[in-house]
Structure 1
Amino acid sequence: MALPTLFANWHKLSTRIVGLLLSFLAVALLVIGSTLLLSWQLEGSAAAINVAGSLRMDSYRMAMLAGQVDDVGADSRTREHLLYQLQGMEEKLQLLQRGDPQRPLFLPPTASIRDMFGGVLQQWRTELAPQAHDWLGQSSITPASVRALQQRSERFVARVDELVQRIERDSENRTFWLRASQLTLLGLALVGTVSIIYLLFDMIVAPVTRLQGGLERMREKDFGVRLPVDRNDEFGMLASGFNQMADRLQSVYGNLEQMVSVKTQALEQQNHELALLYDSAAFLQQPQPAEAMCRGFLQRISDYFSADGGTVRILDPIQGNMHMLVSQGISERLVETERCLKVGDCLCGDAVVKKVAVIHDLRKLDRGHQLECHKEGFATVSIFHVYAQQQHLGFFNLHFRKATEFSPAQTALLETLGQLLGTAIENQRLEGRSRQLAVSEERNLVAQGLHDSIAQGLNFLNLQVQMLEQSMQQRHWEEVESIVPALRAGVDESYQDVRELLHNFRTRLQEGNLLSSLEAVVEKFRRQSGITVDIVAETQGPPFPSEQQLQLLFIVQEALSNVRKHAAASRVWVRLDDHDDFVLSIRDNGHGFEPAALDTLGESHVGIHIMRERAARIAADLSVRSQPGQGTEVILHLARAQRRAA
């Protein structure tokens, strides 16, 4: 971290802690470095004292060797020892002069010691060493020269002693500073530890303790607690945030009851809206005339919004008229006046043109005195549209004698209610169209049944009557006698066809399931025809809706009618397999026919076309199996995918 950046962010707690630790580290490194330097210098001085002390011993040894040489001449071996001694002393002086940092060995870097060593070195090189070399070069050595060499050796030793003493005094001083540095390091450690503990307590522990105390008081619902914000670091930000939180909690807790009351009122309002929507939806789903449905709808919304009056109008898009279907709370005169309005007339007609919900404050309209609603004493008139599948069906009004405003939620609720009413009206219209279509289809089937049975019988009777008339005119009484029984048989056949058709078309579902209704149809067939009928039924599937059940009964009746008319059978088997797929079969033991001939007859075959149409209306498949002399079987199959549940 750069130093300017460090000082710029000094207000941060992390920056101050890092700066404090770095400061203590720098001081500690400085003291430890000085201690190591002093130790290294003392070690070098001690080695220098040893070398300088050895110079004294070498000087004494040199003087002792010089005393062993007699007047006749020095022994060659003694001379060699003396020369070796001189070389050793020279090397030691050079070692003291240059030093050796690796040992370490060096003279203390003080001027007095350097000057003293310079004097020792000069005395050695100018007095003692040259005289010793000259003395070794003489062939005869006198006692006087020996004494002179010893005297110079003693002076040299004295000078070396003084040098050693100065080095020792310097070492004593450095030893003192070394101990002082060690004591300083010890004191720094103690002071640093205490300082760090104090600073950490002041910067971290104390703020955390205050924050913890504030939280404890907050936990005891003392929302008036506040922490002092007396610093700009992170703990100052925490204290400021704590105070803001305390302000918010105090405000929320103080207004809690009010907020709960507001929320409760909002929930109650929503529950009332949901109850209105549910009640209106349930009411509009009931089968009832349009006037009763709109009247009940208007009554509910008028009670909910405390409206003084209201109307429901249906739009005639072809004529461009708006017809008042129901009204409430308005005078008969206003009803007669506005029973039928043109699109674009008055406020309501204008709202239809714009196709938007409108709330009119009649007090603010310039032409308010001209409006019938204003004359009735109403102050506010609201207009909401009735829609179904994006189709505009009409609108409804709410009249208020006091000025009333609607919130966005109330406006959305009324628009939703308008869509519910529109959907109910459209469903009612679709149901009417569906009934008309069903009646039309049933009439077509009746017409086809009459054509296939009664019409053919009457055509036969017409031919027989013509033949009878011709025979009577020609007085062919034998032919008359043969025609009269045929006429009687034809009349009886037509009578039976009429009764059967009336019975089939008047068939209604009995209480119970499909099997009970089927058994009732079969029982009537047994009584009327005298043919034995066996029923085998396995019913495990879901119940059919009434429309599908009725079509199934019609198919069974038509198949049994064909058995009676054409099969000449004595026994019939009806089998019902009601599982996932529905299979119904009617089989007889009559004379049967060739299936290929059935295809050539097409729609003219009696009953087959009617059964196929009824099967197609419930999305079922109808097939006929037959062989001459082996009876006939009609099979109806309704797949699971096409089956509807009741």
Structure 2
Amino acid sequence: MLFASWQKLSTRIVGLLLSFLAVALLVIGSTLLLSWQLEGSAAAINVAGSLRMESYKLAMLAGRLRGDDAAGRNDAAPRLRAQLQRIDGTLDLLRQGDPQRPLFLPPTAAIRDVYAEVEREWRAELAPQVQALLAADGMAASAAAPTAAGIHAATVSPYAVQQRAERFVLSVDVLVQRIERDSESRTFWLRASQLLLLALAMIGTVSIIYLLFDMIVAPITRLQNGLERMREKDFSVRLPVDSNDEFGTLARGFNQMADKLQDSYAHLEHRVQTKTAELELQNKELALLYDAAAFLQQPQSAETMCDGFLARISDYFGADGGSVRVLDPNRNNIHMLVHRGISDKLVEDERCLKVGDCLCGEAVESKLAVIHDLRRRKDSHNLQCHREGFATISIFHIFAQRQYLGFFNLHFRQTIEFTAAQTALLETLGQLLGTAIENQRLQARERELAISEERNLVAQGLHDSIAQGLNFLNLQVQMLEQSLKQQRLDEVESIVPMLRAGVDESYQDVRELLHNFRTRLQEGTLVSSLETVVDKFRRQSGIAVDVDADSDGAPFPREHQLQLLFIVQEALSNVRKHASASQVWLRLRDAQDFTLSIRDNGHGFDTHKLETLGEAHVGINIMRERAQRIDAQLQLQSTPGQGTEVVLHLPRAQRRAA
């Protein structure tokens, strides 16, 4: 773990800098220590040198103690005692040292020995002599007492003290010389350490520069050169991996990138060709889908549509034959609708199959796309398609909104394998064909429903007009027959005009119905078509019609316009037959909402009685049904003696533009 961590570049750089810092701190610390010791030695030299002056002063004061000057003798004794204490204090200071100044003797055995000798000479020889001299000076002249060191005061003379002081000074000189030589030695080592520190700084700087160049600059330079060569499309460049640090990882990554780029560049042309072929194939598939979708949307019969569909996929996949078959769910049969490239015998044998028979019938049960390799089937000799030379039979199903409609076959005389993309394409084409077939069926049902509804309206119109007229004529003929049998000629004369009037009325009704049935939208606006209808009504009935119409709104679909014309025709027909009116007003307001009203000045009727008739009054019901077809609201307003008004209203929410 530690070795792996040391292999990191950041760890090595930090370790290197910390090592140089530790050495620098050690050298600087030793330099500071030597400087501090030299400062203490220098102070010790000054203090030790002061001992010589103090010793000479002590000898001088001792000489005054026995002089002829009485005043001098009296002053010398106290000063001599003070000098003794001063020298004692100086020796104590040298022995104990003072770290604050700093002041201390160098910690060497030779200097300590010399100092011990100096202190011994002072305390054992010089100081006792001085004390004895002071004691002799203060004694009675006749009584000489010994000192603490065993020296008799009578034997001590100032001259002896001076002699002893000179020897003490020589010892102090030796101590000072020893301290000076030690200071010289420490000064040498101080300069040596400073030179070492300078050399270390220079060597460290050079070493750091070299190591940083070796660890950082050189790998970056190699990487930059590799990138330059890579930019010049020299994908053979590789970087040496000579470490396990970050740059080693980066070099390995660069080499891996170079390997991939070299491989990609070497196979680029092949990949471009592959992608181009894939795009061309996809374009062909899209073109086939677009062509098939456009073809299937055209109005045509189911046979024509399936035949064109089969021709397109057969040409695209190079099929030698094929067929489209539809399922009859009521009888559980599969009928062949169209075929290509297969023999008449095969068509006759498989024109109608039961679900579960043969390979195709089995595929209907599973409803899964199947590709049969007939050469690998053991029962292929029993299959008519194999006997005709086909090697591969594919079956793809036709769906419309998850409703199963049938399947289509592709026959190949060679062994064919479909890719997943081709299988998906054929399944999509099967869904397109199924949607087209289902749309045809829905359109046929819609046409049947429209025809049925229109026939219902025709029947209602016939019932409301011709049927009632024929019923009236039937009653009149019966009355005529009875009058003839009874020879009542006056009744016959009155019945014949009524028969003629009934026949004329029925004839007018037939003409009006034929006219309404033949009504077609002319080129132009809704208003122009209404004016055409109103003009015919004026000519046929002789009733004046006032038209007030605008058409500022969005145009209606043609189906809606036709229903509006039928409603106007039916309303005008009711005016002619029942209202006995002399004036009709037609109002049309076409803005966001659409409003159409037909009002007459006829005798009117009670609308409550009309509600009791229910379905008997067919004309009103026909108008309401036509209004419901276009999501409009139809209102009938009438009062006896005040005319009738039919109002059709289409709100903007239900209005659909063409």
How do residues 259-270 of structure 1 correspond to structure 2 at under 5 angstroms?
259-270=271-282
Q: Give, in whole Å, the separation in 1 of the partners of 2:37 and 2:556.
A: 115
Of 592-601 and 370-379, more deviation after overlay is shown by 592-601
> Which residue number corresponds to residue 28 of structure 2?
32
Compared CA separation, residues 346 and 74, structure 1 to 2 (3 A) = same
Determine the structure 2 residue equivalent to 1:576: 588
Residues 349 and 107 from structure 1, CA distance in 2 versus in 1: closer, same or farther, beyond 3 angstroms?
same
More off after superposition, 217-226 vs 536-545: 536-545
Give distance in 2, aligned partners of 1:278 and 1:422. 16
Aligned residues with identical type, % of pairs: 74
Structure-to-structure mapping, 1:32-111, within 5 angstroms: 32-69=28-65, 70=67, 77-111=75-109
Distance 1:46 1:435, change over 3 A: same
Question: Matched residues in 2 for 1:570 and 1:476: separation?
Answer: 38
Change (3 A) 1:83 1:583: farther
Q: Identify which of 120, 123, 133 aligns with 1:122.
A: 120
> CA deviation digits over 1:367-412, x for unaligned, max 9?
1111110111111110000111111110000001111111010000
> Structure 1 pair 92/493, CA: closer, same or farther in 2 (3 Å)?
farther
On the 8 A contact 1:24/1:192 being kept in 2, the answer is yes
- 163-172 or 460-469, which moves further after superposition? 460-469
CA distance, structure 2, for counterparts of residue 493 and residue 232 of structure 1: 114
CA gap 1:492/1:182 in 2 versus in 1, 3 angstroms: same
Asked if 2 retains the 8 angstrom alpha-carbon contact of 1:453 and 1:606, the reply is no
Deviation string 1:127-155 (CA, Å, 9 cap, x unpaired) is: 23333333333316989622222222222
Question: How much has 1:534 moved relative to structure 2?
Answer: 4.0
1:170 aligned onto 2:168: no
Counterpart in 2 of 1:245?
257
Q: Quick one: which amino acid aligns to residue 103 of structure 2?
A: L
Gaps of 5+ in 1: none
Deviation at 1:478, TM superposition (A): 4.3
Query: Could you tell me whether the CA contact under 8 Å between 2:324 and 2:408 is conserved in 1?
Result: yes
Gaps of at least 5 residues in structure 2 are 140-152
Q: Give the Cα separation in 2 of the matches to 1:569 and 1:51.
A: 155
Give the direction of change, closer, same or farther, for the CA distance of 1:340–1:135 in structure 2 (3 Å limit). Answer: same
Q: Secondary structure at the match of 2:587?
A: strand
User: Cα 1:628–1:49, aligned 2, differ >3 Å: closer, same or farther?
Assistant: farther
The CA deviation at 1:629 is 4.6
| 8 Å Cα contact 2:133-2:156 kept in structure 1 | no
Mapped contact 2:463–2:618 kept (Cα < 8 A) = no
Q: Deviations over 1:511-565 (max 9, x none)?
A: 3443443333233223322333344444344433333222222122212222222
Q: Distance in 2 between matches of 1:541 and 1:370?
A: 71
Contact persistence 1:55–1:160 (CA under 8 A): yes
Conserved 8 A contact 2:324-2:409: yes
Distance 1:332 1:66, change over 3 A: same
Does the CA-based 8 Å contact 2:129-2:156 persist in structure 1? no
Alignment partner of 1:296 out of 304, 308, 315: 308
The amino acid of 1:172's aligned partner reads E
Partners of 2:552 and 2:167 in 1: CA distance = 141
Range moving further from structure 2, 234-243 or 127-136: 127-136
- Residues 52 and 586 of structure 1, relative CA distance in 2, 3 Å threshold: farther
Counterpart in 2 of 1:506?
518
**Range with greater deviation from structure 2 (533-542 or 440-449):** 533-542
Matched letter for residue 55 of structure 1: L
- Aligned: 1:605 with 2:617: yes
TM-score, reference length from structure 1 = 0.94
The one-letter code of the counterpart of 1:67 is G
Secondary structure in 2 aligned to 1:607?
A: helix
**Within 5 A, what are the aligned runs for 1:154-193?**
154-193=166-205
Partner of 2:294: 282
Deviation at 1:14, TM superposition (A): 1.9
Q: How does 1:1-16 map onto structure 2 within 5 Å? A: 5=2, 7-16=3-12
Taking a change above 3 Å as real, the CA distance of residues 147 and 590 of structure 1, as seen in their structure-2 partners, is farther
Cα pair distance change 1:165/1:553, threshold 3 Å:
same
SS of match in other structure, 1:121 = helix
- 2:382 is aligned, of 370, 382, 390, to 370
Q: What residue number does 1:258 align with?
A: 270
Write the distance in 1 (CA, Å) between the matches of 2:552 and 2:83: 134
How far residue 459 of structure 1 moved from its aligned partner, in angstroms, is 2.4
- Say which is worse superposed, 483-492 or 210-219, in terms of deviation: 483-492
Of 185-194 and 615-624, more deviation after overlay is shown by 615-624
Q: SS in structure 1 opposite 2:104?
A: coil
C-alpha separation in 2, matches of 1:483 and 1:507? 36
1:410-451 deviations in Å (ceiling 9; x for gaps): 000001111111111111111111111111111211122222
Cα distance in 2 between the residues matched to 1:471 and 1:370: 86
Structure 1 residues 326 and 618, CA gap change in structure 2 (3 angstroms): same
1:324-365 alpha-carbon deviations (Å, 9 max, x no partner): 000011111111111111111111001111111110111111
Amino acid in structure 2 at the alignment position of 1:367: D
Q: Describe the superposition over 1:440-471 as per-residue Cα deviations: whole angstroms up to 9, x where unpaired.
A: 11121112222222222222333333344444
Give the 3 Å change call, closer, same or farther, for CA 168–577 of structure 1 in structure 2.
farther
SS of 2:6's equivalent in the other structure is coil
Q: In the aligned structure 2, how far is the partner of 1:129 from the partner of 1:589?
A: 167
Q: For residue 490 of structure 1, report the CA deviation from its aligned partner.
A: 2.5
In the alignment, is residue 381 of structure 1 matched against residue 393 of structure 2?
yes
CA distance in 1, matches of 2:559, 2:514: 19
Find the residue that maps to 1:539 and give its secondary structure: coil
2 CA distance for matches of 1:613 and 1:200? 98
Matched, 1:493 2:489: no
Q: Which moved more, 1:222-231 or 1:404-413?
A: 222-231
| Residue 20 (structure 1) aligned to one of 13, 16, 20 | 16
Q: How far off its partner does 1:76 sit? A: 5.1
- The aligned amino acid for 1:29 is L
Matches within 5 A, 1:469-618: 469-618=481-630
Look up the match of 2:145.
Answer: none
Comparing 550-559 with 352-361, greater Cα deviation is found at 550-559
TM-score (structure 2 length as normaliser): 0.92
Match of 2:135 in 1: 137
Alignment-derived partner of residue 396 in structure 1: 408
Q: For the structure 1 residues 177 and 489, does the alpha-carbon distance in structure 2 shift closer, same or farther, using more than 3 Å as the test?
A: same
Equivalence for 2:142: none
Distance in 1, matches of 2:281 and 2:203, equals 71
Q: Give the SS at the match of 1:205.
A: helix
CA distances 1:184-204 after superposition (whole Å, capped 9, x unpaired): 111111111111111111111
* Cα distance in 2 for residues equivalent to 1:238 and 1:508: 84
- The residue type equivalent to 1:255 in the other structure is H
Q: CA deviation at 1:168?
A: 1.2
Task: Sort the Cα spacing of 1:174 and 1:587 in 2 relative to 1 into closer, same or farther, 3 A.
Answer: farther
Seen in structure 2, the aligned counterparts of structure 1 residues 302 and 620 have a Cα distance that, compared at 3 Å, is same
- Select the residue among 336, 349, 354 that pairs with 1:337: 349
1:318 is aligned to 330
Q: What SS class does the counterpart of residue 641 from structure 1 fall into?
A: coil
Confirm or deny: 8 A CA contact 1:587 1:633 kept in the other structure.
yes
For residues 210-259 of structure 1, give each alpha carbon's deviation from its aligned partner in whole angstroms, at most 9, with x where no partner exists: 11111111111222222222333222222222222222212212222211
2:488 and 2:76 mapped to 1: Cα distance?
199
- Alignment-mate amino acid for residue 507 of structure 1: T
